[in-house]
Amino acid sequence: MLPISTLLSGIRTAEGLLSKVLGKRGTRLDHKIAAVVALQKAINATQAFLVQSDMTYHPNEALSHLWLDAFEKMIRIDKSLARDLRAASNFWSNPQLWLQEKSAMELVPDLRELNERCEQILIELEKRLKR
């Protein structure tokens, strides 16, 4: 039979490992929520800007920063989507430059597409939160 001190030490070690694993899992969930919120803010602000500007594209530093913030939060969650968000940030720093190059515009994600991807992440989050 093992001494009690060894058992207690093993329990403390297991407890420490569990808290690390569970803590990371919760943190990942928090990161995902923050990423989705940042993405939705960027989408909403862009849609509002386009409505107010009669769909005229001109540089908008605030939008560029919102998309960059969404990129920063998404990079841990979905690298492919994060690259698209970075392209959106670059686009809003100088839209005319991007609009002149059709091939460059292929790199800028469509707002509908981003909204759909945001919705997919939300559905995944809802499933995880129900567990």
Rounded to the nearest 10 degrees, what angle do helices 79-93 and 111-130 cross at? 140
Q: 117: left (phi > 0), else alpha (psi -120 to 50), else beta?
A: alpha
pLDDT tens digit string along 54-68? 999 999 999 999 999
Token readout for 116 is 């759909």
Q: Please give the pLDDT value at position 102.
A: 76
CA distances, 84 to each of 14, 40, 131 (Å): 41, 14, 31
Residue-level pLDDT at 9 = 52
The domain ranges of the chain are 33-130
Q: What does the block give as tokens for 8? A: 């207690």
The predicted-structure confidence for 101-122, as pLDDT tens digits, reads as follows 877 667 667 889 999 999 999 9
Q: Which residues are within 8 A (CB) of 47 and not within 5 positions of it... i.e. 6 or more apart?
A: 111
pLDDT at residue 25, as a whole number:
56
pLDDT at 28: 83
Q: What distance in Å separates the CA atoms of residue 113 and residue 63, rounded to the nearest whole number?
A: 18
Pick out the chain residues at pLDDT < 70: 1-27, 104-105, 107-108
**Full DSSP string of 45-94:** HHHHHHHHTTT-----HHHHHHHHHHHHHHTTT-HHHHHHHHHHHHHHH-
User: What was the pLDDT predicted at 86?
Assistant: 96
